[in-house]
Amino acid sequence: MAVHAHPDDESSKGAATMARYVADGVEVMVVTCTGGERGDILNPAMDRPEVKADIGKVREAEMARAREILGVQQRWLGFVDSGFPEGDPLPPLPEGCFALEPLETAAEPLVRAVREFRPHVMLTYDERGGYPHPDHVKCHEVSVEAFDAAGDPERYPDAGEPWTPLKLYYHMTFTKERVVTLHEAMLRAGLESPYHDWLKRFEEDTEPARWAVTTKVPCADHFETRDRALLAHATQIDPNGFWFVVPMDVQREAWPTEDYHLARSLVDTELPEDDLFAGIREKVSLQCYH
């Protein structure tokens, strides 16, 4: 189960991993916390009045196409996008938005989803949200709450029969190591790198990385599926934009994995891992044997 803040997040973070596991016969569910109603239109070709007038419905339709491409199940939690506050000072968040919901109110439908779908593995963002969007931070909070609470019959007693997930991971999508490696690969290929500004930000950021990559999932064979799912989110993804600058062969050669930090585990596993189900396959097989 991959828990995301907005439609399109599932395609920009961990999509090739999900496609790989779907191909392996694993049941995969994307949980989308909000409808993305306050997201900007980032593709100039979609910046039209009729799209803006019904952006929630448009993004819902985009999500339907993306989930079909990825082969995943998908569930909306039904909360309202908080938008990304900008300015100095930052404006207050809009009343009734996801980020302002009390934790238990926001987590209850996710606990219910966990208990119904019964995942062994959950994916979410770290406590900074991957980037400081208030909905991403809230997504982290409700995911951790649901991971901890879903197996406890005394918590959220009206949200279904308890179920305990076994592992919780954080997405580690744009690590310094990955960005530097792709940057250098582009230069070796004689191509213009899109990462110059990223490298400057890394130089200016003296704070050490908070989470180490513990798990690298090989999924290069599914990068094209990931890109098709991204393109399904046409209001958010410019086909001529950043996501598609690095040629596929360069990506596959330089960085053929999607990467994660193992934040919680209730099974024994050895780090580093190359499988989100490391330790789980053995546990489930042993239980079936007995």
Q: Which two tokens stand for residue 75?
A: 């569930």
Q: How far, in Å, CA of 90 to CA of 94, rounded?
A: 12
Bridge partners of residue 273, in order along the sequence: 215
Q: Is 136 annotated as a binding residue?
A: yes
In sequence order, what are the residues at sequence separation of 6 or more whose Cβ sits closer than 8 angstroms to the Cβ of residue 30?
Answer: 1, 2, 4, 10, 18, 67, 70, 72, 73, 74, 75
Q: How far, in Å, CA of 272 to CA of 95, rounded?
A: 43
Q: Is 197 annotated as a binding residue?
A: no
Q: How far, in Å, CA of 266 to CA of 169, rounded?
A: 12
With residue 180 as reference, give the H or E element that holds it. Answer: helix 176-188
Q: Quick check: helix, strand or coil at residue 200?
A: helix
DSSP structure string for 211-267:
S---EEEE-GGGHHHHHHHHHH-TTT--TTSGGG-S-HHHHHHH--EEEEEEEEESS
Q: How far, in Å, CA of 194 to CA of 159, rounded?
A: 46
Q: How far, in Å, CA of 110 to CA of 82, rounded?
A: 18
Q: How far, in Å, CA of 181 to CA of 139, rounded?
A: 29
Binding residues for Zn(2+): 6, 9, 136
Instruction: State the binding site.
Output: 6, 9, 136
